[in-house]
Amino acid sequence: MILNKHSDSANTDSRRHLFGTFAGVFTPSILTIVGIILFLRTGYVIGQVGLASTLLIMAAAFTLCLLTGLSLAVIATDIRVKEGGFYYVISRTLGPAFGGALGLTLFLSISISVAFYVMGLVEVLNHLVALPDWLSVRILACAITVVLFIFAWLGADWTTKLQFLIMGLVAGGLLSFFIGGGMAFSQQTLAANWQTDASAEQFWLAFALFFPAITGFTQGLNMSGDLRAPHRAIPKGTFAAIGLSAALYVLVALVLAGTASISELTDNYYIMADVAMWAVLVAAAVMAATLSSGMASMLGAPRVLQAMGGDKLIPFLVPFAKGEGQDNNPRRAVMASTAIALLCVIIGDLNLLAPVISMFFLAAYALLNYATFFALHSDNPFFRPRFKWSHKIVSLIGGIGCVVAMLAINLIACVIAIAVLFGLHQYLARSHQHRSFTDHQRGALFKRVRELLFELNSMEPHPGDWRPHMLVFSKTPERHKQLLTFSAVLEGQSGLITLTRIVNPQHADEPEQQQILKQYQQAIDDTDVRAFTLVMQASDFQSGLRHIMSAYGVGPITPNTALLNWTSSNDSKQEHSPEDYAANFLEMIKADINLVALASARDPLFAKEAPAKGRKIDIWWRGGPTARLMLMFAYLCTRARGWQNTKLRILTEAERYSKQQVQDIFATYLDNVRIESEVEALDKVDLDSIKRYSSQSELVFFPIEVKEDEIVDSFEVGLQSLVDNLSNLVLVKASKSMQLDPDPDNGDDQKEG
């Protein structure tokens, strides 16, 4: 079966026309870099800031290229980069929210860039040939866009074949320029053009003008789904394109600086054609390179949209996932890209969008560098890139460099681009909860949690560090939601909850473990409570209980509280007998686990929406650790959503004190522990007084004592009578001392009354 499965996959790939390094990566990348800026703007940059500053600008730009290329090589040699290019890499590394935000903006940017390239081509044509009156610039641009659409509709195979012809034309134009420039080269002219009196502002304007030239070095990544071996083709083709294009730009700059004056370089965009031996070849090269850049963008943008549609991140993009033919050509996405490009051509004025689009490309490079740093830093054992000639610090420097370039080129456009990306990221993070692919986020979180656990374990524990870590035992499915919701109220957004069940696999009526976990997860989803789940198999409840309490947790994170249902003896859904409760509670106390038993029959009791009259929690105070634990839990309840305005009330027996003395004692104590509560001192606590005071309260915390074979209430009024007469009862027993106001300097020695 395994051999057959792999054979089918291989046959499927063999039916597609896949490209190698030269045709699939190097050619589209080099033709996009060696484009209109090389031929029409390099001379202008030299004229503005001089040759020395131009070489510095080129060095900075291509250094960012190289750093990003190294990051790209690391990512591309770890995973098989499928359809979607940048989107695929970012979504599988940083997650769908980052990937989706970047993918959508890149699709729009690449589609709009088609219009830029087409308008640039029309500008060259209009300069070389006088257009007839009936043929306006916009009509010609629309016609060229339709031609690009036809090639993209036919598929990448047709377009790639055409790129070989374009590469020949570009090579011919450059050869003509170098021959003519070599004949006219002058060292005196070169020295005169070495430096100008350009200001820092002019330098950054020149940098902003030049930088878009190198944004095409990742065109091969956009074609990742059409490559035969992406993990080999992408690094090799990208590095080759960066190296050759950097050499060409430097050579062109040197020749231009040695053959033309500053005024000629500044005023004449077509200076390369004037310097060349055969000007027509340079003109043909400019048009061919610009057309090639437009075609590469027309091929790349639809594949990003197709990949996003396939991942179903945004519902209205799903139809664009459909491809046509054995090459899975994204024709629906091609139509979308063409529509955007045509709209931009018709509008005509693209200067407003140009800076923002450049920012999106730079943001993509920054995120690619960060994604590589993120993956390397996570120490994920499954991240095993074949490319070893890089380091996570290199990727981090590349990412920072891209952000610096964004800020330097256009601050306003940078802020707009970041705001758009942030908004899309937040939308996707909130709307897309489930995903069908993995990324490195979980691995990075695991590493961080691991480091924090070791750090936490190295610290000396202190009473002030106490947080409720609850094991919530729930057997009856009908009570899962109530117990889970109550546990969320009880921990007050400060602790941990684990929904727990012990099953005996020898009993035929016990449900399967997966069935229980499914029920638990459904309860978690329905209540929107953050909790873990645990199902333990044991021959009996007590042995399973001992195992959980001794083994559950990691390092210093161990459970300290058990929460379960307490049911009346006449309840048909009773989960434990009184003797079982006593035995189980004793096991928990031996393990230093606090006990909380919910005896409430009010299903809507723990709704997040507070009643109009407000809520009240009663604490029946008998003193000692249990009383303080109940007060802590009552206070934590007031931090839960919907319970913030709940009033606390302490009820106690005056005993040998007067009621005023009791009030004074508690006023001082509550002030020390900084918890607000009313205090009621009763002459005697009996069942009638308990019912009279607490029957209408939302929660009633009541202390209990655990004996060998029974559980009794601390006021000795009859536990079963309390359970039968109150529908809002919470029974509590502390396993050890609880301090509500520990001294940070001497917490262990401090005593509370």
Q: Taking Cα atoms as reference points, which of 577, 75, 591, 583 lies closest to residue 371? A: 75
Share of the chain above pLDDT 70, in %: 91
Share of the chain above pLDDT 90, in %: 40
* For residue 10, pLDDT beyond 50: no
- Between the CA atoms of 209, 211, 212 and 213, what dihedral angle is there, to the nearest 10 degrees? 100
Q: Taking Cα atoms as reference points, which of 201, 345, 252 lies closest to residue 37? A: 252
The rounded distance, in Å, linking the Cα atoms of 167 and 162 is: 9
Q: Span 365-382, mean pLDDT?
A: 88
**Neighbouring residues of 637: CB distance < 8 A, sequence distance ≥ 6:** 489, 490, 492, 617, 643, 646, 699
pLDDT of residue 3: 42
pLDDT in tens, 265-294: 999 999 999 999 999 999 999 998 888 888
The rounded distance, in Å, linking the Cα atoms of 625 and 732 is: 10
Min mean pLDDT across 102-106, 132-136, 205-209, 670-674 is at 132-136
Residue intervals in the chain for CATH 3.40.50.12370: 463-740
The rounded distance, in Å, linking the Cα atoms of 362 and 399 is: 9
Q: Span 24-37, mean pLDDT?
A: 87
Q: 95 — alpha (psi -120 to 50), left (phi > 0) or beta?
A: left
* For residue 570, pLDDT beyond 60: no
Upper half-sphere CA count for residue 299 (Cβ side, 13 Å): 33
* Better-predicted residue by pLDDT, 332 or 607: 332
Q: Span 145-173, mean pLDDT?
A: 86
The rounded distance, in Å, linking the Cα atoms of 638 and 636 is: 5
Residue intervals in the chain for CATH 1.20.1740.10: 25-436
pLDDT in tens, 420-445: 999 998 888 887 555 566 677 888 88
The rounded distance, in Å, linking the Cα atoms of 478 and 440 is: 38
The rounded distance, in Å, linking the Cα atoms of 404 and 611 is: 53
Question: Which pair of tokens denotes residue 37?
Answer: 């800026």
Band of pLDDT at residue 1, cut at 50, 70 and 90: very low
**Neighbouring residues of 742: CB distance < 8 A, sequence distance ≥ 6:** 462, 463, 464, 750
Q: Whole-number mean pLDDT of the chain?
A: 86
**Neighbouring residues of 712: CB distance < 8 A, sequence distance ≥ 6:** 704, 705, 719
> Does domain 463-740 match CATH 3.40.50.300?
no
Distances (CA, A) of 115 to 145, 289, 450: 8, 15, 50
DSSP letter (8 states) at residue 497? E
Band of pLDDT at residue 512, cut at 50, 70 and 90: confident
pLDDT of residue 55: 97
Helix, strand, coil percent values for the chain (each to nearest 5)? 60, 10, 30
Residue 682 pairs in a beta bridge with: 653
| CB distance 407 to 75 below 8 Å | no
Band of pLDDT at residue 396, cut at 50, 70 and 90: very high
Min mean pLDDT across 132-136, 257-261, 327-331 is at 132-136
pLDDT in tens, 595-646: 999 987 655 556 556 565 678 999 999 999 999 999 999 999 999 888 888 9
Amino acid at 120: G
What string of H, E and C letters represents the secondary structure of 444-458? HHHHHHHHHHHHHHC
The rounded distance, in Å, linking the Cα atoms of 727 and 731 is: 12
Q: Span 677-683, mean pLDDT?
A: 93
pLDDT in tens, 499-508: 999 988 888 7
Q: Class assignment of domain 25-436?
A: mainly alpha
